[in-house]
């Protein structure tokens, strides 16, 4: 399988919403809601695309996953120095492509982008009640930073230190 990752454009809105909605519905069926419904509103996603924050992973030219890559995160990481980190959110993979290959490619792409920007850390957060996601992030070298209550979410924050 050939995997490529590209920055999303406004033309990709439907693709991103489709992947995020499928992921949300899947975890909802399992009784593990992932995001608040308003977080998946087209206007919210459109704005994130406009800011250049969404990326799409393709498997043999078929959209297989998405992630949001940010250079700042005042909501979950307001206590860390500005400019030292990048942040990954909304990582989602179509069920058809589950198994880890796509998510690994997206995480590795985010690590590469972070290094190219000269940032020290790639950071993310994960609901404390999601052990499979915790295992995935630890498998990719993320270390636990701290737990934090952010609005309706109680999360474990992780960071990956970029080596020079």
Mean pLDDT of the 11-30 span = 88
pLDDT in tens, 106-140: 999 999 999 999 999 999 999 888 888 899 899 99
Q: Work out the mean pLDDT of the chain and round it to a whole number.
A: 92
Domain boundaries, the chain: 3-123
Indicate the SS3 state at residue 134: helix
Give the position of tokens 């030219």.
61
The DSSP bridge partners found for residue 50 are none
Residue 135 has a CB neighbour count (10 Å cut-off) of: 10
β-strand pairing of 121-127 with 85-93: parallel
First-to-last C-alpha distance (Å) of the chain: 30
pTM of the predicted model, to two decimals? 0.92
CA distance 115 to 108: 11
Strand extents, DSSP E, the chain: 3-7, 54-59, 62-70, 85-93, 121-127, 143-150, 153-161
C-alpha span between 39 and 32 (Å, rounded)? 16
Superfamily of domain 3-123: Gcn5-related N-acetyltransferase (GNAT) (3.40.630.30)
């Amino acid at each position: 399988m050939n995997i490529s990752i590209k920055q999303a454009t406004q033309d990709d809105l439907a693709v991103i919403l489709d992947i995020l909605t499928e992921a949300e519905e899947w975890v909802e069926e399992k009784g593990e809601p992932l995001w608040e419904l308003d977080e998946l509103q087209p206007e919210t996603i459109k704005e994130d695309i406009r800011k250049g924050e969404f990326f799409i992973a393709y498997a043999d030219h078929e959209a297989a996953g998405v992630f949001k890559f940010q250079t700042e995160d005042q909501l979950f990481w307001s206590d860390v120095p500005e400019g030292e980190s990048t942040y990954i959110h909304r990582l989602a993979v179509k069920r058809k492509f589950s198994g880890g290959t796509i998510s690994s490619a997206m995480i590795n792409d985010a690590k590469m982008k972070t290094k190219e920007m000269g940032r020290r850390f790639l950071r993310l957060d994960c609901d404390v009640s999601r052990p499979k996601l915790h295992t995935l992030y630890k498998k990719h070298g993320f270390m636990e930073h701290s737990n934090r209550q952010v609005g309706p979410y109680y999360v474990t924050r992780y960071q990956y230190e970029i080596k020079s």
